[in-house]
Structure 1
Amino acid sequence: MTTHAPALTERYLLSPDMIADPYGHLDALRDHAPVHWSPLHHAWLVTGYDQVMRCLRDPAVSADRVRPLMDAVPQGARDDAERAFGILSRWMVFNDPPRHRRLRQVFQEAFAARAVARYRAFTEKATRAVLARKAAPGRTGDLLADVAKPLPALVFARWLGIPPTDGPSFWYWNTRVADLVLGTAQEESEYRASLQALVSLDDYLGALVARRRAEPGDDLISQVLREGRVGDSVTEEEFTGMLTQMAFAGGETTSNLIANTVLALHTRPDQLAAVRAEPELAQGAVEETLRLDGPSKMSIRTAARDLDLDGRTLRAGDRIFLVTAAANRDPARFPDPGRFDVRRSGATHLGFGFGAHFCIGAALARLVAVAAVRTLVCDHPGLTLTDPGRPAWQPSLLNRGLTALPVRY
């Protein structure tokens, strides 16, 4: 591979200071070279908005990253990995066209905004119910554990058709799968637990698909089965594998989006006051969080063949980090990019990706996050952060999620 930019001081993106606040370094990196080879990470760091967009559109940039995930598994846990990584290989997020397109089309109608809107009333009711249980005025607690995690869990379980009695096992498996996919499983025992959780989740959802064939309901699985594509354009095994992706992605992303938005507003009194005065601006607050401090910092790709990007030569097999957390702060796209503005309009942020791999669950994630933020801001005016200066973040290369958000309701 060839590089031309002058030397830049490397910062390890999983070091504690980078986990706490990566943005100063990412801004400097983007200003220095929006396409930069990092020997420390053995990857190209793509940080410019236009350059990330080019990669998201270019078929030479592959989304297949199951092999790198498997390579990270400790040697002692490899025996457990074969079936688990077979399941991951059926996730559409890890597939390129044309297979990606074929898999995605199965869910296209179910994820359309008009279909998701059917869950608005349930989401608003669930939001009020969760807050009534956990957010009594004057009580202290952890907003992440009290609200941001259980609310998406309720909505996504209802949407998928998970019986309430199965909820504890279902969400335990999801948590362990997140550890595997997001790279937070470190010890061999953690990897084994995560690999087994993915297999258990796949087995459970396979049985649920069979049950919904016999007894259809008002849920995602039943809707897709009624459309007749399972067994036609996709196999039942592929369908179940994709459901494990839906189960993992919906809860984790939306929980972090809610918590990050509450943190952003409660550390910016003027923006919090704006949403209180105009509750419809909760949508703008969620969008600004997705841009400025969203639940995803980057996605990982691989060069399927040699390509030129911004004067750099990326060789086939090179790993590529598409750092949307930096692209969403590119001053060439966003005026005053470091400012959180609930009324911002203009350029499209990349918080949910773009193009073929745009997050298929974006409409549902937005529905849940906006309902939670609007209710917390407007119906709980006494809500305050009890430790606003020291948020603790999960040690993950890919996601941006708090470990806790201490508050007084």
Structure 2
Amino acid sequence: MTTHAPALTERYLLAPDMVADPYDHLDALREDAPVRWSPLHHAWLVTGYDQVMRCLRDRAVSADRVRPLMDAVPQGARADAERAFGILSRWMVFNDPPEHRRLRQVFQEAFAARAVARYSAFTEKATRAVLARKAVPGRTGDLMADVAKPLPALVFARWLGIPPTDGPSFWYWNTRVADLVLGTAQEESEYRASLQALVSLEEYLGNLVARRRTEPGDDLISQVLKEGRVGDSVTEEEFVGLLTQMAFAGGETTSNLIANTVLALHTRPGQLAAVRAEPELAQGAVEETLRLDGPSKMSIRTAARDLELDGHTLRAGDRIFLVTAAANRDPARFPDPRRFDVTRTGATHLGFGFGAHFCIGAALARLVAVSAVRTLVRERPELTLTDPERLTWQPSLLNRSLTALPVRY
């Protein structure tokens, strides 16, 4: 008699237990079928490393998802949406080549590793200042609120040239924009606040660009203006729209990367001891977090035209979830993929994407995260998690973000 394995039961990825820990289910999806249509999510789930890579390289797979974001806005908030979604349409992450390449080139020099390295000393100084103020030895606190959020905010504000007095408004707008882009806004009032925040952020950055034309400083905006690309390869409106993306992307991703790395190390004593003995392994810890439990779980794409993938026909207009959180644990690519190993070498993880859409701010995010992790391990040796069994995560398809990380410093 022939027996058949039971069909895999698909789970809603925003169910509370999937938000808390999606990895067993994602592994099962990948092992069962690395490309599958999900009626539950109305999308193709791509979970295998090679299959995700093929999609990231294929021009038939489009990054334009402004329309789906707009479709999610409640009808009562649509009147506020037109200008906000015009801004989002200028974000490079929502554009395909050749427009994506044209927009990205504006920042190529400013984001190069050698340019980012200029901020090493400031980042180290900012890290120690944040720890001295918030992470007082013997004190209990929330590492997310005390360190993981304020440190990237300090560095990114300095890098963009945001005056300290403008910081509170600037970061409030960024938080609200994240609610919109990451899909955590639910109520109509939340959508209205997010849409207005994006408009306010654009107005603020537009005024700051005008100020930097007459009063240049040592910051990203001044550097790009000096290179002469604004008004040449991109319009000023496009440049300001791109700055809203830079402002949003840097802080959110880096905050989650810091917190997730600290959590990973402090739940694996052997790996923590290795970094403590050799602080330069903090870089390896950050890379393993990006692979194993990074700040991004997936990216959403759309089929621009019909394409074949693993024997399936993806039709033009179909949504595609590129589940990097599953691809980064693919045993065909990573030996012992569930093991967190700060000395791991070999295959490239997809924590910052790949190819044309590789995260342009990766070097800066790594600089800040490594500084935070290395300094915490070295200078707060008594740091412990106070309630690791009761951690909660933000409900989001896209990002992996703790609501808090209670610790004793």
Check conservation: 1:301, 1:322, Cα contact below 8 A: yes
C-alpha offsets along residues 75-111 of structure 1, whole Å, 9 cap, x if unaligned? 1000000000000000000000000000000000000
Say which SS state the counterpart of residue 230 (structure 2) adopts: coil
Looking at structure 2, the residues matched to 6 and 389 of structure 1 have their Cα atoms a distance apart, in angstroms, of 32
User: How far 1:391 sits from its partner (Å)?
Assistant: 1.5
C-alpha offsets along residues 243-273 of structure 1, whole Å, 9 cap, x if unaligned? 0000000000000000000000000000000
C-alpha offsets along residues 211-260 of structure 1, whole Å, 9 cap, x if unaligned? 00010000000000000000000000000000000000000000000000
Looking at structure 2, the residues matched to 108 and 400 of structure 1 have their Cα atoms a distance apart, in angstroms, of 27
Looking at structure 2, the residues matched to 28 and 184 of structure 1 have their Cα atoms a distance apart, in angstroms, of 26
Taking the TM superposition and a 5 Å limit, the aligned residue runs for 1:59-98 are: 59-98=59-98
Looking at structure 2, the residues matched to 110 and 6 of structure 1 have their Cα atoms a distance apart, in angstroms, of 53
Looking at structure 1, the residues matched to 217 and 137 of structure 2 have their Cα atoms a distance apart, in angstroms, of 38
Check conservation: 1:2, 1:313, Cα contact below 8 A: no
User: How far 1:8 sits from its partner (Å)?
Assistant: 2.8
Say which SS state the counterpart of residue 110 (structure 2) adopts: helix
C-alpha offsets along residues 279-336 of structure 1, whole Å, 9 cap, x if unaligned? 0000000000000000000000000000000111000000000000000000000000
Looking at structure 1, the residues matched to 140 and 8 of structure 2 have their Cα atoms a distance apart, in angstroms, of 44
User: How far 1:3 sits from its partner (Å)?
Assistant: 22
User: How far 1:390 sits from its partner (Å)?
Assistant: 2.1
Check conservation: 1:328, 1:350, Cα contact below 8 A: yes
Check conservation: 1:44, 1:320, Cα contact below 8 A: yes
Check conservation: 1:303, 1:320, Cα contact below 8 A: yes
Q: For the structure 1 residues 253 and 4, does the alpha-carbon distance in structure 2 shift closer, same or farther, using more than 3 Å as the test?
A: farther
Check conservation: 1:4, 1:312, Cα contact below 8 A: no
Check conservation: 1:152, 1:254, Cα contact below 8 A: yes
User: How far 1:10 sits from its partner (Å)?
Assistant: 1.3
Q: For the structure 1 residues 338 and 6, does the alpha-carbon distance in structure 2 shift closer, same or farther, using more than 3 Å as the test?
A: same
Looking at structure 1, the residues matched to 332 and 83 of structure 2 have their Cα atoms a distance apart, in angstroms, of 45
Q: For the structure 1 residues 277 and 316, does the alpha-carbon distance in structure 2 shift closer, same or farther, using more than 3 Å as the test?
A: same
Looking at structure 2, the residues matched to 4 and 226 of structure 1 have their Cα atoms a distance apart, in angstroms, of 66
C-alpha offsets along residues 54-80 of structure 1, whole Å, 9 cap, x if unaligned? 000000000000000000000100000
Q: For the structure 1 residues 4 and 364, does the alpha-carbon distance in structure 2 shift closer, same or farther, using more than 3 Å as the test?
A: farther
C-alpha offsets along residues 112-142 of structure 1, whole Å, 9 cap, x if unaligned? 0000000000000000000000111110000
Ranges in structure 1 where 5+ consecutive residues have no aligned partner: none
Looking at structure 2, the residues matched to 135 and 81 of structure 1 have their Cα atoms a distance apart, in angstroms, of 40
User: How far 1:180 sits from its partner (Å)?
Assistant: 0.2
Looking at structure 1, the residues matched to 134 and 6 of structure 2 have their Cα atoms a distance apart, in angstroms, of 53
User: How far 1:5 sits from its partner (Å)?
Assistant: 12
Identity within the alignment, %: 92
C-alpha offsets along residues 37-68 of structure 1, whole Å, 9 cap, x if unaligned? 00000000000000000000000000000000
Check conservation: 1:144, 1:405, Cα contact below 8 A: yes
Question: Partner residue of 1:188?
Answer: 188
Say which SS state the counterpart of residue 339 (structure 1) adopts: coil
Runs of 4+ in structure 1 deviating by more than 4 angstroms, as ranges, are 1-7
C-alpha offsets along residues 330-367 of structure 1, whole Å, 9 cap, x if unaligned? 00000000000000000000000000000000000000
Say which SS state the counterpart of residue 349 (structure 1) adopts: coil
Question: Partner residue of 2:403?
Answer: 403
Check conservation: 1:3, 1:37, Cα contact below 8 A: no
User: How far 1:174 sits from its partner (Å)?
Assistant: 0.1
CA-based RMSD: 2.5
Looking at structure 1, the residues matched to 377 and 157 of structure 2 have their Cα atoms a distance apart, in angstroms, of 25
Ranges in structure 2 where 5+ consecutive residues have no aligned partner: none
Check conservation: 1:2, 1:312, Cα contact below 8 A: no
C-alpha offsets along residues 183-204 of structure 1, whole Å, 9 cap, x if unaligned? 0000000000000000000000
Looking at structure 1, the residues matched to 329 and 184 of structure 2 have their Cα atoms a distance apart, in angstroms, of 26
C-alpha offsets along residues 120-169 of structure 1, whole Å, 9 cap, x if unaligned? 00000000000000111110000000000000000000000000000000
Looking at structure 2, the residues matched to 73 and 18 of structure 1 have their Cα atoms a distance apart, in angstroms, of 24
Check conservation: 1:43, 1:318, Cα contact below 8 A: yes
| Number of residue pairs matched by the alignment | 409
Question: Partner residue of 2:333?
Answer: 333
Query: Does 2:311 match 1:311?
Result: yes
Looking at structure 2, the residues matched to 54 and 5 of structure 1 have their Cα atoms a distance apart, in angstroms, of 29
Q: For the structure 1 residues 3 and 70, does the alpha-carbon distance in structure 2 shift closer, same or farther, using more than 3 Å as the test?
A: farther
Question: Partner residue of 1:106?
Answer: 106
Q: For the structure 1 residues 4 and 39, does the alpha-carbon distance in structure 2 shift closer, same or farther, using more than 3 Å as the test?
A: farther
